[in-house]
């Protein structure tokens, strides 16, 4: 079977793609590939200066690319609401919403709303942003919500409903695993709700082991070992392929999950992969959804 690459991305002219965390790494490569294929790309970024650099680089790669910047701080519900309002004012339709931004293994800290940083950014921030933009996707044939998870959804991962914000004790690995498991639980519950509302679908992807800025918060012992294992990791251009396939391949179905096809899903070309048994627990999906609406104050139209 042929390996899926950016050459397989269908023509994206006339489509609007909103990508969080698009100024660097996986998000940048995703944005650049979609812009090259003709999409109108909105780079939703926290740091506008870095966003401007990314926008300029995309335009150099693809002269005539249709790229716009949108300030978005996923650690602030106020920022998320403001960004959603601005995106809605600028676009009466969205074809692709790609929830890519994230943090991994930071020291213990909280968002501006008091949520544990990884759970608040990786899950709750995207939950709120998606809910506030969903009515711009629902009328659009073939629209998709793509959420980037991780192999980390299997590592010490559970949804700790009795301590979602890690107030009783903080493990950066456990908190990251919880947030990435939440990404998948969210995707599957969203797809269940979307199924009765037309053609919009929810999918997920993971990049395998990719060498990106996410690695900047590695624990000291892992940072020391990283130079030795770095050759096992792939570049952001390859790591972005599962997201791009989940977003654009005409054969993708709602609720599917894409990752690299190599050993242990660490590297390789994008293929359909399986997520953990916990991620498919319907009761947990629905309970997390209810809690997420309560914490963010965002109630979905589906």
What six digits make up the tokens of 174? 């456990």
Cα separations in angstroms, 190 against 30, 87, 88, 268, 293: 22, 21, 20, 28, 13
**DSSP per-residue string spanning 9-54:** PPP-TT-EEEEETTTSHHHHHHHHHHHHTT-EEEEEES-HHHHHHH
Question: CA-CA distance, 281 to 276, in Å (whole number)?
Answer: 10
Question: CA-CA distance, 279 to 57, in Å (whole number)?
Answer: 37
Active site residue 176: yes
What six digits make up the tokens of 213? 């800025």
C-alpha angle 59-54-237 in degrees, rounded to nearest 5:
90
Torsion angle of the four alpha carbons 42, 48, 49, 51, in this order, in degrees rounded to the nearest 10: -20
Residues 6 or more apart whose CB falls under 8 angstroms from that of 291 comprise 161, 164
C-alpha angle 113-23-170 in degrees, rounded to nearest 5:
40
Q: What is the DSSP letter of 263?
A: G
Q: Strands 96-99 and 144-148, how do they pair?
A: parallel
What six digits make up the tokens of 117? 């940083």
Helices (H), the chain: 25-36, 48-61, 77-90, 117-118, 126-137, 172-194, 220-229, 236-239, 241-248, 282-296
Q: Are 75 and 179 in contact (CB under 8 A)?
A: no
Q: Which of 105, 176, 188, 257 is catalytic?
A: 176
Active-site residues, by number, are: 176
């Amino acid at each position: 079977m042929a390996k899926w690459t950016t050459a397989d991305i269908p023509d994206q002219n006339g489509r609007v793609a909103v990508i969080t965390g698009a100024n660097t790494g996986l998000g940048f490569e995703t944005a650049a590939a979609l812009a090259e294929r003709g999409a109108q790309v909105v780079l939703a970024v926290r740091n506008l200066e870095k966003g401007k650099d990314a926008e300029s680089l995309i335009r150099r790669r693809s002269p005539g690319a249709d790229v716009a910047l949108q300030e978005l701080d996923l650690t602030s519900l106020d920022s998320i609401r403001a960004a959603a309002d601005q995106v809605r004012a600028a676009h009466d339709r969205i074809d692709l919403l790609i929830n890519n931004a994230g943090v991994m293994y930071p020291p213990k800290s909280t968002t501006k709303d008091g949520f544990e940083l990884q759970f608040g950014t990786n899950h709750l921030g995207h939950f709120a942003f998606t809910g506030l933009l969903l009515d711009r996707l629902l009328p659009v044939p073939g629209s998709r919500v793509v959420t980037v998870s991780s192999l980390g959804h299997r590592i010490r991962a559970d949804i700790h409903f009795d301590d979602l914000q890690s107030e009783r004790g903080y493990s950066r690995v456990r908190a990251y695993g919880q947030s990435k498991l939440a990404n998948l639980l969210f995707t599957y519950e969203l797809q269940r709700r979307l199924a009765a509302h037309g053609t919009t679908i929810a999918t997920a992807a993971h990049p395998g082991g990719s060498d990106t800025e996410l690695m900047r918060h590695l624990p000291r012992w892992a940072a020391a070992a990283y130079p030795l294992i770095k050759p096992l990791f792939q570049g952001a251009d390859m790591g972005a392929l599962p997201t791009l396939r989940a977003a654009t391949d005409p054969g993708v179905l709602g609720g599917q999950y894409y990752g690299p096809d190599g050993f242990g899903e660490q590297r390789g070309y994008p293929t359909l992969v399986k997520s953990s048994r916990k991620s498919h627990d319907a009761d947990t999906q629905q309970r997390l959804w209810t809690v997420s609406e309560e914490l963010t104050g965002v109630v979905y139209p589906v």
